Structure 1
């Protein structure tokens, strides 16, 4: 007896879209995990700096930056980075390289406000470091994820 059981699914145009959607969702998931890690690392670093005597007082408004503020701002800008990475994965032929270039440029621009804030030296140095901690974590993680999804 010669019988074949042909229950396989034929790949059509939708399978390419499904694979592409999976890549985008995978990148977004990786980015969200990295965002949580960046928020925790930045808040911990800010708490350690505060324990070491950094006051995080900004002279213009006289306000002191609260610890949860570091987490919120880190989370917001990390999500912006994820959106940029997803857009580049979707529309760029070289998403990892373009992402690194864009993210490093935006990180460099983000270093300007602490330098212009008029805060004391310890606060300025701590703020610069607190920009670099999450930026490094997010850039490395998202660039690796982009390379893995395009390679």
Structure 2
């Protein structure tokens, strides 16, 4: 591999990582603010399995963790897939769909379930397009 090719690959990975970090932070903020607004209008976020309400910082932590997992998947696909943007989009949509199952089966009240599903979709709506765009921009 030539030095130029190696430098180009490092640049693409750094660009993707930077976009991923910014999108992760944005998803964390948007999800936490949306959860705070939902709590302000009466959603209790009580999940019967734990018996306690989900704390607001918990939304940021979980969103951040799974967003970073998504960015790591994107980096791996950029490195090893001939079509990273398409593969990432399909993977992210599939994982988002799977992430909707726990809220639906947790036994919480309807307001909590609907809000949790919405928060999953909000986080995905922030992260997935940004990372997919970056992967497409770097495929040229």
Q: TM-score, normalised by structure 1?
A: 0.91
Per-residue CA deviation, residues 45-104 of structure 1 (Å, 9 max, x unaligned), is 000000010000011221110000000000000000100111111110110000000000
How many Å separate the matches in 1 of 2:38 and 2:83? 38
Residue equivalent to 1:9: none
Of 118, 123, 134 in structure 2, the residue corresponding to residue 129 of structure 1 is 118
How many Å separate the matches in 2 of 1:138 and 1:37? 8
Classify the secondary structure of the residue corresponding to 2:138. Answer: helix
Equivalent residue pairs, number: 140
Q: How does 1:111-126 map to 2 (within 5 A)?
A: 111-126=100-115
Q: Given the alignment of the two structures, is residue 147 of structure 1 paired with residue 136 of structure 2, yes or no?
A: yes
How many Å separate the matches in 1 of 2:88 and 2:65? 17
Greater relative contact order structure (CA < 8 Å, 6+ sep) = 2
Of 56, 64, 80 in structure 2, the residue corresponding to residue 75 of structure 1 is 64
Residue equivalent to 1:49: 38
Q: Given the alignment of the two structures, is residue 86 of structure 1 paired with residue 71 of structure 2, yes or no?
A: no
RMSD between superposed Cα atoms in Å = 0.9
Q: TM-score, normalised by structure 2?
A: 0.98
Classify the secondary structure of the residue corresponding to 2:46. Answer: coil
Return the index of the structure with the highest Cα Rg.
1
- Following superposition, which runs of at least 4 residues in structure 1 exceed 2 angstroms of deviation? none
How many Å separate the matches in 1 of 2:29 and 2:138? 26
Classify the secondary structure of the residue corresponding to 1:62. Answer: coil
